[in-house]
Amino acid sequence: MRTLHTKDLIALGIGAVIGTGIFILPGHEAAQHAGPAVAISFLLAALVSGLVGMAYAEFSSAMPVAGSAYSFGSVVYGEIIGWILGWALILEYFLAVSAEATGFAAYFNNNILAAIGFELPKFLQTGPLEHGVVNLTAVLIVLLVAFIIGQGTMLSKKVENIAVVVKVSIIVLFIIVGLFYIKSTNYTPFYPEQFHGAPFGLGGISTAAATVFFAFIGFDALAANSAETVDPHKNVVRGVLGTVVIAVVLYVSFTLVLTGIVNYKDLNVDDPAAYALKVINLSSWNKLITIGALIGIFTAMLTMFFGGSRLVYALGRDGLLPGNFGKVSKKNKVPMRAVVLATIVQAAFAGFVPLTELAALINAGTLLAFAFISFGVIPLRRRKDIHNNGFKMPFYPFLPILAGSCSIYFIWMLPSLTKIWVSIWILAGIIIYFVYGIRHSNLQKNK
């Protein structure tokens, strides 16, 4: 059933993009890689994501189906490439939800529960890798999001739309208030020399940009929902570009204010905005930004969960995963088995794996999908059997090649360990395809 309009897609996009990416990552990336120039990193990531988003929008216009990069890749490259993209994005979506959940738990435990004088036992605050048993709050928030997703598109859409307005308002308020506490000396040096590196002295800025790309996986989620979008030929690109514009303004403004209030060397914390408000003795505002962070992370989880479960559904529908995952509940029109699988995996990762370990694995698969979809516009245009009377990426073929090349560049700039782990995941996916998928694939059966 097509129920999503432009405003709903923008809400989904902002719900995904404005989460851990803005409430946690700016501090870490400023302290570790780019200094105040982290604002440039976010600008680069947003601009490249916007270019790639136009490629997604063209695919969505030509093929408004569930599955996004998986479905698109299968059509223009063949099933095995489509499967690899889908397999990579399953990792990205699931780990993104888990990472958001652990970020939510940190804010909630440290700022909300602490404010009312309640503290969870240490063994319920972290998983075994951090000398606890389970991150209970992270598990519970995954279950709550799963319940909302399980009720169908209409409920999750209403929750998303309301929450996005609230969190964007709080972020804007932080930017306005913070402007009065900026110290120009904190911007000197704007791009500290110790972060310079190859290529062209932009190593720190490039690494920071590559690290924050997982915040922009929301663009893939928009395309994943094209099958449920009213008039996808027009509304998907409007949703993508609307999200790009809002994300660029909020991220760049937020990071400039943050690094202007507090010296970048002191921002290597999980709650940089709340920390900054403590530094300037605005403790009452601290609670407000915490609420904004919780709402922001929560809505990002909704979008990531939504996209991930729909991707599992698409793979099950096509026989590459067991067929039960490709069935839709008659009551709520939701792929409940896919939702249950996503819930189990995401809750397990959120409960037992630390945020830093999760975040390190999220980016490579996203950028891999970005590259394939960008370059995929070229063979898509050459397909005589696919008619597209809607949106087409401008300045063809220059922009598709530029977007794909930028995505490959940022994969290269990721930490080596991240690339190794994601390579192992991709190898496992290839094995699964040849052991199970190729024998059960509907495409192979119909040949």
Residue 221 pLDDT? 62
d(C-alpha 337, C-alpha 327), whole Å: 7
Residue 158 pLDDT? 66
181 class by beta-carbon count within 10 Å (0-12 exposed, 13-18 middle, 19+ buried): middle
Residue 110 pLDDT? 77
Please count the other Cβ atoms lying within 10 Å of the Cβ belonging to residue 377.
Answer: 26
Look at the alpha carbons of 359, 364, 367, 369 in this order and tell me if their dihedral is positive or negative. Answer: negative
Please count the other Cβ atoms lying within 10 Å of the Cβ belonging to residue 131.
Answer: 9
Q: What is the pTM of this model?
A: 0.81
Cβ–Cβ under 8 Å, residues 294 and 277:
no
- DSSP, collapsed to helix, strand or coil, labels residue 181 as coil
Cβ–Cβ under 8 Å, residues 273 and 289:
yes
d(C-alpha 75, C-alpha 81), whole Å: 9
Bond from prior residue into 189 cis (ω within 30 degrees of 0): yes
Backbone angles phi, psi at 229, to 5 degrees: -105, 135
DSSP-assigned letter for residue 229: B
d(C-alpha 74, C-alpha 71), whole Å: 5
Structure tokens, 329: 């509940």
Cβ–Cβ under 8 Å, residues 316 and 338:
yes
d(C-alpha 256, C-alpha 10), whole Å: 24
Structure tokens, 13: 């996009």
49 class by beta-carbon count within 10 Å (0-12 exposed, 13-18 middle, 19+ buried): buried
The residue with tokens 């690094």 is 259
Residue 398 pLDDT? 95
Residue 180 pLDDT? 93
Cβ–Cβ under 8 Å, residues 216 and 17:
yes
Residue 299 pLDDT? 78
Hey, which residues does 229 pair with through a beta bridge?
4
Q: Which residues of the chain have pLDDT under 70?
A: 1-3, 15-16, 19-20, 64-68, 152-161, 214-215, 217-228, 232-233, 332, 356, 359-360, 443-447
d(C-alpha 289, C-alpha 36), whole Å: 21
Bond from prior residue into 121 cis (ω within 30 degrees of 0): no
